């Protein structure tokens, strides 16, 4: 197996926002997972639990999306401001039918953003809201004037305007956001966008809600008709082992055929991006529009005994490998894929962190994110994989090795390798043009079982281990274990 890297031809920068994360009002993703309230016995800062926030800060999370998701199109921002004990209690009709007391609203969310040292992606309510409501929320957050809304924000405890880096106008308009056709949504998008005004230096990047899976019509219509000033079009794709929503497959206890099908399904991301980018290149040759995969990740059948609407699933080595495969795909399309959001941060779907009251553990996906930190804002390098050994099950095959490389902000060349085969290791020869390669040091993430995962009894059952290799006779070969993720810095 050979991986060729050309360090003499730097490609586009891998935007750090490719490593963004999603926090929706869903299950225990916000409440308990992140927010415990300032009066909780669990150590917290202004209501946000210190252990979870500390772990997320170590990931250098660049961007957080809130409040949804499907929840965004039933969220009315005025319910989440003012004294918490006077906020209305609603029902979260999308996720579990549970009470939503609006304890986490605009001010609390921006507290989290500032504590994490990250940026905010706010999703507006197009589905059940109005242009006036959305425009007033943006004014409330960003105005530096003496308007009534800006003064109300100050009265509620925030003197200076908030910085909104990205603003999404609706979510999944093809489904939970309104069951619309793309042409109808494009008209609504332009209508709403017309009234979203901020101070000139405070305007967020505006995002149109795009398509999902194989449907490219949304990109086609929106790239032609979206209002000027639109920064990007979103896209959603989830990895289901079976490819069937009604019976997705189990998060643990699966056989190799479901390991394989999960890898096969997630690799479809590359084709989805290619087809949508081809449309963007046709309709937007100046490349003003980004392609934002702002929901992605694995989605399994919920854990038995849990609320089906809470979307709780175990997170295993398989999820870590899936995450790394997607990172490598995003790196290959860095010119257009300028932001992505895994779903979700805590306790929901492919989470970084799992909590149970005062307890917390890090998942294999968390460890993959941490291993890939050097790729944030790194300069991609052309990387070619000679996959002479495929991974095959039941007469179906996928590439055995996935790879990407980049020159980090520290000047070092980083290489990420993923072995999709759960049974066979692979020797990968690194052919680096433009720089000698004498050794490589970094980390490897693997385990004996395909569904290895951390538990509160064994919170470090799976974690990265040190990795190193030296060139022999001028040739650098990396031994990549079965079912593993390897990230190394190449030394001259």
Q: What tens digit of pLDDT does each residue of 448-485 get? A: 999 999 999 999 999 999 999 999 988 999 999 999 99
Assign 369 a pLDDT band (cuts: 50, 70, 90): very high
Where do the H-state alpha helices sit in 59-130? 106-116
CA distances to 162, 201, 228 from 204, in Å: 11, 9, 13
Tokens representing 365 are 């996906």
Q: Choose, from 172, 183, 256, 448, the residue flagged as catalytic.
A: 172
| Pairing of the two strands 439-445 and 63-66 | unpaired
Q: Choose, from 108, 136, 258, 295, the residue flagged as catalytic.
A: 295
pLDDT score for 228: 86
pLDDT in tens, 86-124: 999 999 999 999 999 999 999 999 999 999 999 999 999
pLDDT in tens, 400-409: 999 999 999 9
Report yes or no: 263 and 398 within 8 Å, Cβ to Cβ. yes
Cα–Cα dist 222/431, whole Å: 41
Report yes or no: 483 and 317 within 8 Å, Cβ to Cβ. yes
For 15, the 3-state DSSP assignment is coil
CA distances to 15, 69, 123, 191, 208 from 205, in Å: 15, 18, 12, 17, 10
First to last CA, the chain: 21
Nearest residue to 66 (alpha-carbon basis) of 166, 133, 180, 202: 166
Cα–Cα dist 449/318, whole Å: 10
Report yes or no: 477 and 426 within 8 Å, Cβ to Cβ. no
Assign 492 a pLDDT band (cuts: 50, 70, 90): confident
pLDDT in tens, 119-137: 999 999 999 999 999 999 9
Q: What is the CA radius of gyration of the chain?
A: 22
Report yes or no: 380 and 416 within 8 Å, Cβ to Cβ. no
User: ω before 67 within 30° of 0 (cis)?
Assistant: yes
237: number of Cβ within 10 Å: 19
pLDDT score for 223: 97
Query: Is 172 known to be catalytic?
Result: yes
What pTM was computed for the model?
Answer: 0.97
């Amino acid at each position: 197996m050979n991986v060729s890297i050309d360090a003499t031809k730097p490609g586009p920068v891998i935007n750090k926002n490719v490593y963004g994360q999603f926090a929706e009002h869903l299950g225990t993703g916000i409440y308990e997972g992140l927010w415990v309230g300032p009066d909780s016995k669990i150590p917290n800062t202004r209501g946000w639990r210190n252990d979870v926030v500390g772990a997320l800060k170590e990931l250098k999370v660049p961007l957080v999306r809130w409040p949804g998701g499907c929840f965004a199109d039933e969220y009315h921002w005025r319910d989440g401001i003012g004294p918490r004990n006077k906020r209305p209690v609603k029902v979260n009709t999308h996720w579990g039918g549970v009470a939503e007391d609006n304890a986490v609203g605009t001010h609390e969310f921006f507290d989290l953003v500032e504590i994490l040292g990250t940026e905010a992606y706010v999703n507006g309510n197009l589905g059940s809201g109005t242009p006036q409501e959305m425009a007033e929320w943006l004014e409330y957050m960003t105005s530096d004037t003496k308007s009534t809304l800006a003064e109300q924000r100050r009265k509620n405890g925030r003197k200076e305007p908030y910085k909104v880096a990205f603003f999404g106008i609706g979510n999944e308009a093809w489904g939970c956001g309104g069951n619309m056709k793309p042409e109808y949504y494009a008209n609504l998008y332009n209508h709403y966008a017309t009234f979203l005004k901020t101070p000139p230096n405070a305007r967020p990047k505006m995002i149109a809600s795009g398509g999902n899976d194989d449907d490219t019509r949304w990109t086609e219509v929106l790239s032609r008709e979206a209002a000027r000033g639109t920064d990007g079009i979103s896209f959603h794709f989830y990895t289901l082992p079976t490819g069937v929503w009604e019976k997705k497959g189990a998060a643990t206890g699966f056989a190799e055929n479901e390991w394989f099908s999960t890898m096969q399904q997630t690799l479809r991301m590359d084709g989805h991006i290619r087809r949508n980018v081809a449309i963007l290149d046709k309709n937007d040759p100046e490349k003003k529009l980004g392609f934002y995969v702002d929901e992605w990740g694995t989605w399994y059948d919920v854990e038995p005994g849990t609320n089906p609407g809470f979307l709780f699933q175990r997170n295993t080595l398989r999820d870590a490998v899936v995450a790394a495969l997607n990172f490598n795909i995003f790196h290959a399309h860095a010119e257009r894929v300028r932001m992505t959001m895994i779903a979700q941060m805590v306790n929901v779907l492919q989470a970084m962190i799992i909590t149970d009251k005062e307890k917390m553990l890090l998942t294999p996906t968390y460890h993959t994110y941490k291993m890939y930190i050097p790729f944030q804002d790194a300069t991609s390098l052309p990387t070619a994989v000679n996959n002479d050994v495929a991974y095959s099950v039941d007469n179906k095959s996928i590439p055995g090795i996935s790879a990407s490389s980049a020159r980090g902000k520290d000047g070092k060349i980083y290489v990420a390798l993923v072995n999709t085969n759960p049974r066979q290791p692979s020797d990968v020869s690194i052919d680096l043009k433009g720089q000698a390669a004498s050794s490589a040091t970094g980390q490897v993430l693997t385990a004996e079982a395909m569904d290895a995962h951390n538990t509160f009894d064994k919170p470090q059952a799976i974690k990265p281990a040190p990795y190193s290799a030296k060139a022999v006779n001028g040739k650098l070969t990396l031994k990549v274990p079965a079912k593993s993720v390897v990230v190394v810095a190449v030394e001259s």
